[in-house]
Amino acid sequence: MFKHILFATDGSSASEHASQMAINMARAHGSHLTAVYVIDPYPYMGGAEMSLVGFEAYMESGRKHAERAFAHINHLASIGGTPVQVKTRLVEDTSAVKAILRTADEEHAKLIMLGSHGRGGLEKLLVGSVAAKVVAHSTKPVMVIR
């Protein structure tokens, strides 16, 4: 049914939990999986004193975090049955939502999966929810894992 699944990860515990569900879904459907991690390069640039060295350190930290998230997904894909083909994409964008949706289109994904932190109340209003915005703006089916 879903021959290509896009799984959006931020390396959080919610994403780690959801990654197992994404692998299970891909395995059940004989799908391949694209894991996407979005780095926003601009929070660092908000300071008045921006240094190139500081920016590179910020970006390198984001890349290392993405590598750990991808390593976790690749490990899960290789154990517990038929291996799942995983492609990883590291994307730089100021909007995680737009980057996820654009990557899903570029990869011709049939389903988008992502984890949710389950924030509620005032925290959800202040922080916003990437998962809720992906659901609201996607033209593809979206599965949110809590």
Percent share of the chain, pLDDT over 90:
68
Among 38-47, 80-89, 105-114, 127-136, which stretch is predicted with the lowest mean pLDDT? Answer: 38-47
Judged against a pLDDT cut of 50, whether residue 109 lies above it is answered with yes
Give the CATH architecture of domain 4-145: 3-Layer(aba) Sandwich (3.40)
Judged against a pLDDT cut of 70, whether residue 120 lies above it is answered with no
Among 41-45, 71-75, 93-97, which stretch is predicted with the lowest mean pLDDT? Answer: 41-45
In the sheet with 32-39, reading across from the earlier edge strand, the strands are: 86-92, 32-39, 4-8, 111-115, 142-145
Judged against a pLDDT cut of 70, whether residue 125 lies above it is answered with no
The residues, any chain, with a CB within 8 Å of residue 25's CB and separated by 6 or more, are 2, 5, 31, 111, 113, 143
Overall average pLDDT of the 78-93 stretch: 95
**Distance separating alpha carbons of residues 47 and 49, to the nearest angstrom:** 5
Name the one residue in this structure whose structure tokens are 């083909």. Answer: 85
Overall average pLDDT of the 115-122 stretch: 65
**pTM, rounded to two decimals:** 0.88
Q: Tell me the pLDDT band of 126, cut-offs 50, 70 and 90.
A: very low
Mean per-residue pLDDT over the chain, rounded: 88
**Distance separating alpha carbons of residues 94 and 19, to the nearest angstrom:** 23
SS3 87: strand
**Distance separating alpha carbons of residues 78 and 118, to the nearest angstrom:** 28
Give the per-residue pLDDT at 118.
58
Overall average pLDDT of the 62-80 stretch: 96
